[in-house]
Structure 1
Amino acid sequence: MPAASSLPWWQRPRFWAVVLALVVVAINLASMASTGAWDPWETHYGEVARNILVRHDPLDLWWQAGNGGPDAVAEKTFWSKPALPFWLMALSMKIFGVGTSGPPDELVQPFWPEFAIRLPSMLAGLGSAALLGYVAWRQVSPRAGILTAAVLVTMPQFAVATRQALTDMIFVGPVVLAAAAWILAWGQPDRPLRRRGQGARSLPWDRAYLAFAIVFAAAVVAPLAVIHQHAYDPYTWATVGKNPGHAASLRQIQSHMFIYWGLVVLVLGLSLRWTRRSQVWMGVLYIAAGLSLLGKGLIGPGLVGAVVLVHLVVTGRWDLLRRCGLPTGIVLFALASFPWHHAMVLFRGERWVNELIIQNNLARFDTGEQKQAVGSFAFYLETLGLAALPWSAVVPLVLAAAFGIGRKASAPAEATSEASEAGEAGEAEAPASASTEASEATSPAGEAGEAGEAEAPDFQDFSLAPTPEAARRVLHQFALIWFSVALFAIGYSVTKYYHYLIPVLPPLALLVGLWIDQRMSGPRTHVGPRLIGVAVGLAVLVAVVRDTFHSTAWLAHLTTYLYTGMWRTGGPEVSALPWLVLPFGLGLLAWALGRHRAALAGFVLSGLLTTGWAVDDYLPAASENWSQRSALRLYFAERGPRDRLVSWWFYYRGETWFSKQDVWVMKDVDRKALTELFDQVEGQDTTLWFITIEPHARRLAAQVPQRYRGDIEEVYKSFHYTLLRVHVP
């Protein structure tokens, strides 16, 4: 294969990587303005993030439904999720000047509000794909890297979750970072860190260490500084500090945070003495595991730890436990995740611990949360068909091949383990040149000089992959373990939501990318197995498309938790879907005939078309039924100076977000309270605007005072929401 630099520019891998990135970014931005924030999560989470800015409080997450009505202050806290997603949304809103100033109708205007709250998820999702692609590019080939990234960003569930303001990507991103760090630590030949200076005065001068330093500064130092500064902020003391109990808690936070600053200095000093690249990447892994805890809770570090543990079991390389810097790693994990939790324990106490840890983490895994969120393991196997469409058509082939490669990888792993132990005992010593050659073989061209640095004579490589071919096998084996552990974890959990499948998609995309790359360059299989695989793939495509026609809201359900009743309706037409997956079906036929290039073109084209349709056609159409933006934009356009928005028998969060909490809230029917509202506004020549769901709108007339029952006017109606108004002279 000719060197990349000798190829025409349009054939170089980096050119196609840039093209893929530009196309995916364009797909994500094209419909941003036409897709309002969805209930209940985007609007709920966006309002929590906005309150961080309004209240100048990054510590105590806050939710308040409105500024009037019997249920306006029924909730005044938000303790169901950790802080990281809301910090990132608030930072994005601050940068773009969204949510804290401007006109009252600011949040119903297009693009910037949606872009601000969705940007963190977009960066996490697209960044995860880029990082996973980089790992495959580095470990296997540029083609494998581009394919892995392309597969992941064109899986519909991953693409839609990337485009929405959810917590899932803020936890999946760190998990992907941790997995990548593990492979970069042990899945390639290790080498000494480049350093500058002599002896004890030398410092790491290495790109790998620079990556660690950036992650450490962003994930450890910055959040700790924000939390500590908040405890000293005069604004905090002028508001929260008036309460004697809160004042005492703030003083405790002030003193306790110095413990973490001491640990920062300690771990930074220890990191300056690192001598191996593997130590640096393990440091990144521990920080990423801590971030995943701060992103969504215990599932993040639990998943990272389980994947690593199973990988050690399968490879038999228990000696890596002694080499992975566990004591320093525990400190790094604590620094990335504990300060906010510690401060909240001091500030809110046992009630907060019970709601966040017990109810919203452990109970969901063990006892279930809602009746609609309970199912069998097959729940996710069926969901995977649409979540990974059209790539789900090759998943059976991919998994069959992966299990075969996993078995082949065990023998080299055992040999590596034996050599490692022998070298450790002084019985065998691998020459430094062998390690250098292996490192050069697996490193990108840009790092050839770095890998070619003279190594210490006594340097020993304890990695799982001393050769490029071993690196491919180890990565394939690790991806299969990662996929299996993630699927088992969500399948074992009693609570089952469609979006719980998202952590399974990155390792699946890696498996698909590696499989296609291997088939493109490896020997052709026999015709019989190819035909069977193609038949299975075509059957999967037909079954998934058929089920999508039967439930057009299925794609919308992949990132929400409301699946019953009226939420089964309102799904846009999916008549284009068969045409979108047709290139994939034709690609499967070309694959059976051995026309791999034509097949690959069909696969990628179908993936991009399906994702473009899901993000730029389906989501905007579905937003009319899953977002209140159109209804409330009409309210702001036609309301008078004394008019009042009323959330009646309704509590879906969008009414709070779009109105900036300027809403009268009634969660359940209360005729007396509603009559009192009419009495309060009589004589002011005002209009009451009622936002509610369609089934409840028909019952409003029976609840308002009799003299106004004939004046109810319906001004907006979708499958899920209805906006009505009553003029009160």
Structure 2
Amino acid sequence: MVVTASPTSAARWRVRALLEQLRRPESLAVLMGALVFLPMLGASGLWDPWETHYAEVARRIVVDGDWITPRWQGELFFSKPILNFWLMAASFHLFGISAWAARLPFALIGILGVFLAFRFVSRILDARRGLWAAFALCTTPFYFFISRQAITDITFCVFVMGSLASFALVALKPDTPRREALYIYVFAGLAALAKTPIGLAIPAAVALVYLLLTGEWSVLRRLRLPIGILLFFLIAAPWYVSVLALHGRKFSDEFFMHHNLQRAFTGVHGERGTFEYFIQQAGYGFFPWVGLLPLMLGRVLGRLGRREDAEALRLEVRSPEAQALRLELFLLIWFGVTFTVFTLIVTKFHHYVFPALPPLAILAGICLASEDGPGWRVLGPLGILPLLMVGNDIVSSDAHLANLYTYAYERPLPGEIYPRLTLALVAGLFGLCLLLWRFLRTRLLRAAMALLAAASALTLAWYYQPALGHTMSQQDVFDTYRRLARPGERLYQYQMNWRGEVFYSNDKIVKIGDEAGFRSIFTKPERAFMIAVRESLGPLDRSMRQATGRHVHVLEGSGLRYVLLSNQIGPGETDHNPLTRHLLSEIPALAHPVRAELVDPAQAAGGAQIAFLGYELRPEVPSTGDELEVTLYFQCLRRVDKSWQIFIHIDGFGHEFHRINGDHYPVEGLLTTDQWMPGDIVRDRVRLKVPIEFTAKSYTLYLGFYIGETRMRVLPGFPQDGSDRIRAGTFAMD
């Protein structure tokens, strides 16, 4: 009689087998990466300009069927090699065109990097330290932010990491199978297809410095150089040769000369910066593990200073202690060489230093997992200093983390979504752990530090990055257009070059370049839609008012960057134009009416241009620590042709040492003074924080307009202090 297993028992066996597989260390490493990188991956649209730019190139591959020549708006696109576009195009082909499909290949590459970190550390040391290295890597902000973006940097970084990880295995473990050496060249070839032909140069430079410092030249015999170099060219060269054959000088001039050589040696765009530029970015991208830097460096440099350890390296001793030191030295060399290479490149973006971060993260994990004697414990508390410096910066400003992987660093950011309190708690508690390191160094302490790093990573990856996407992406305005537009109602864009307008319209959007073109469309009886950056709202609204006497309608403007405009509003639709709340039809009854008239000194002959009408305070009697809302009222008397800023000085004790400053552009920059029309009554509102240490009981409100060192002149006969500051009034403070 044949006995067969029941379906229930077979299912239980499969579940047990799966659980056993998941308990394996390598599976845990992959799961850690997946947990950080995959959730909420498509929760926001693709960010401008890089994600949408690259995604549109990939979309054209799918549409055109040309997998050799990348194109943008019908033109040849040779800014980057082909591999990333192949990955996105394949994902689009399988899953459809979406933000999730665009980012998925890069998240998977990021997970591969976490696995590679575990693999080579566990083989050289042990699985425990391999898991800690993988954990530190996937909770490093630079790494998880960029792994969740459809940009070229994670592929290049991971493939360089794979090449160097294989070199480390060959160099540090002589019994490593010979095929491992070939992976050096496979990954280097992929790196050359991912971002730049120097995919082999960085691993070669790191390997050379390592061999020079250790004298382990016998490693060269195990590198299989002839077949390896051939393998590198077999992987990297076919696409380069093909596109050179098809496009010749066009490709070589744009790709090699402009985007590689000029970018490296003369600069093409982006920042320039000094030596500390990348030190700052590396610190922000390494939070909170930056607190382990003194311990990481002290462990390696201190042991190298001991004669017996240095001798063990020179004699190629293979004891566990010597292997650990050799690996940590290799990681420092990897960081140092990579950091130096990208520091020397003239063109600088914040994320250019990213390939130097993985070895630091891996070293942090090894350091955290290692059992050190009391001699090393004194170094733990020293990490409070770099942690305090970095933590103070990222808690104080949301720009430092957001700008690690974005472009146009001056773009406004939605401060209300920034997890400031979480980051402050992580920094503070991580610093406490460093302080206790000297005394405890227990498993519980390491677990606490890991929990803090995980809390920071998951908050930033699952919540902050997707929420920030609603400002950085045009998807919301396109979704609103598709929901509201009827057949035949066209979409235009105004003076934009942010790439998303091309991707989300399937390259069908019509560009309008000036206000005359805008008026020609929006004054017609047919309904039309237009996407613009938020800063264009003031000029376009003024143009609409001049032509029709009506405001332009804003149908989507929830983000800080893009707005969807229309010349008509349909049933059930809501107008979100903020200017309708700030441009008044008549002067309201004010709690504090004050009149003063101002003029540009260069145009004084024509008479007053702006009249200050008065102000309101909320609360009327603020307390220290309060948020004070100051509302100012102005009337435009005569055309102003410059964009003046408003300054507010709230002075206590009659001097600037007890001053609350409130410099800003009118109406949050949406309605600058050069957009004001004669007769406009403008309501401007600003919120100011009253410092808790201010003790004066009476404060005087001064205000005016300025550009640089020049102030608008307050005309004689109106309340002022003699320095062209309107003296608006005095109020009490609790």
Q: TM-score, normalised by structure 2?
A: 0.70
Q: Work out which of the residue numbers 117, 126, 131 in structure 1 matches 2:116.
A: 131
> In the alignment, is the contact (CA less than 8 A) between 1:671 and 1:704 conserved in 2?
no
Q: 1:305 to 1:17 in 2, by over 3 A?
A: closer
SS of the residue 2:85 aligns to: helix
Q: 1:400 to 1:369 in 2, by over 3 A?
A: farther
* Deviation, structure 1 residue 514: 2.1
> In the alignment, is the contact (CA less than 8 A) between 2:555 and 2:566 conserved in 1?
yes
Q: 1:473 to 1:543 in 2, by over 3 A?
A: closer
Distance 1:138 1:631 in 2: 50
Distance 1:315 1:384 in 2: 27
Q: Work out which of the residue numbers 199, 205, 210 in structure 2 matches 1:300.
A: 199
* Deviation, structure 1 residue 561: 2.4
* Deviation, structure 1 residue 479: 0.8
> In the alignment, is the contact (CA less than 8 A) between 2:145 and 2:405 conserved in 1?
yes
Aligned: 1:382 with 2:228? no
Q: Work out which of the residue numbers 390, 393, 398 in structure 2 matches 1:552.
A: 398
Which structure: greater helix fraction? Answer: 1
Q: 1:343 to 1:599 in 2, by over 3 A?
A: same
Which residue does 2:81 correspond to in 1? 82
Distance 1:588 1:12 in 2: 35
* Deviation, structure 1 residue 159: 0.6
Deviations 1:205-249 (A, max 9, x none): xxxxxxxxxxxxxxxxxxxxxxxxxxxxxxxxxxxxxxxxxxxxx
Aligned: 1:42 with 2:51? yes
> In the alignment, is the contact (CA less than 8 A) between 1:692 and 1:723 conserved in 2?
yes
Which residue does 1:162 correspond to in 2? 147
Q: 1:643 to 1:694 in 2, by over 3 A?
A: same
* Deviation, structure 1 residue 300: 2.7
Percent identity for Structure 1 against Structure 2:
31
Distance 1:569 1:697 in 2: 21
Q: 1:720 to 1:612 in 2, by over 3 A?
A: same
Aligned amino acid, residue 380 of structure 1: F
Which structure: greater strand fraction? Answer: 2
Q: 1:406 to 1:170 in 2, by over 3 A?
A: farther
Aligned: 1:670 with 2:514? yes
Aligned: 1:396 with 2:395? no
> In the alignment, is the contact (CA less than 8 A) between 1:646 and 1:689 conserved in 2?
yes
Q: How many residues align?
A: 550
Aligned amino acid, residue 563 of structure 1: Y
> In the alignment, is the contact (CA less than 8 A) between 1:405 and 1:477 conserved in 2?
no
* Deviation, structure 1 residue 302: 2.1
* Matched ranges for 1:309-324 at <5 A: 309-324=208-223
Q: Work out which of the residue numbers 305, 330, 336 in structure 2 matches 1:484.
A: 336
Q: Work out which of the residue numbers 490, 502, 507 in structure 2 matches 1:644.
A: 490
> In the alignment, is the contact (CA less than 8 A) between 2:160 and 2:191 conserved in 1?
yes
Q: Work out which of the residue numbers 386, 405, 412 in structure 1 matches 2:312.
A: 412
> In the alignment, is the contact (CA less than 8 A) between 1:569 and 1:719 conserved in 2?
no
Which residue does 1:436 correspond to in 2? none
> In the alignment, is the contact (CA less than 8 A) between 1:553 and 1:570 conserved in 2?
no
* Deviation, structure 1 residue 174: 0.9
Deviations 1:304-331 (A, max 9, x none): 1111111121122334435422222221
Distance 1:27 1:330 in 2: 35
* Matched ranges for 1:251-650 at <5 A: 277-278=177-178, 280-370=179-269, 372-406=270-304, 410-416=310-316, 466-518=318-370, 520=371, 522-525=372-375, 529-530=378-379, 533-534=380-381, 536-564=382-410, 566=412, 572-650=418-496
Distance 1:573 1:176 in 2: 31
> In the alignment, is the contact (CA less than 8 A) between 1:675 and 1:705 conserved in 2?
no
Q: 1:467 to 1:499 in 2, by over 3 A?
A: same
Q: 1:494 to 1:396 in 2, by over 3 A?
A: farther
* Matched ranges for 1:159-308 at <5 A: 159-190=144-175, 277-278=177-178, 280-308=179-207
Distance 1:691 1:327 in 2: 56
Deviations 1:63-103 (A, max 9, x none): 11xxxxxxxx6xx221100001111111111121x13xxxx
Q: Work out which of the residue numbers 120, 127, 136 in structure 2 matches 1:151.
A: 136
Distance 2:297 2:549 in 1: 63
Query: Unaligned regions of 5+ residues in structure 1, if any?
Result: 1-8, 65-72, 100-112, 192-276, 417-464
Distance 1:337 1:136 in 2: 27
Q: Which structure would you say has the larger Rg?
A: 2
Which residue does 2:93 correspond to in 1? 94
Distance 1:568 1:15 in 2: 42
Distance 1:63 1:407 in 2: 55
Aligned amino acid, residue 572 of structure 1: Y
Distance 1:329 1:176 in 2: 17
Which residue does 1:725 correspond to in 2? 566
> In the alignment, is the contact (CA less than 8 A) between 1:315 and 1:410 conserved in 2?
no
**Higher mean Cα deviation, 169-178 or 296-305?**
296-305
* Deviation, structure 1 residue 189: 2.6
SS of the residue 2:459 aligns to: helix
Aligned amino acid, residue 151 of structure 1: A
Aligned amino acid, residue 44 of structure 2: T
> In the alignment, is the contact (CA less than 8 A) between 2:29 and 2:115 conserved in 1?
no
Distance 1:526 1:353 in 2: 53
SS of the residue 1:575 aligns to: helix
**Higher mean Cα deviation, 567-576 or 120-129?**
567-576
Query: Unaligned regions of 5+ residues in structure 2, if any?
Result: 1-17, 571-734
* Deviation, structure 1 residue 140: 0.8
Distance 2:414 2:206 in 1: 36
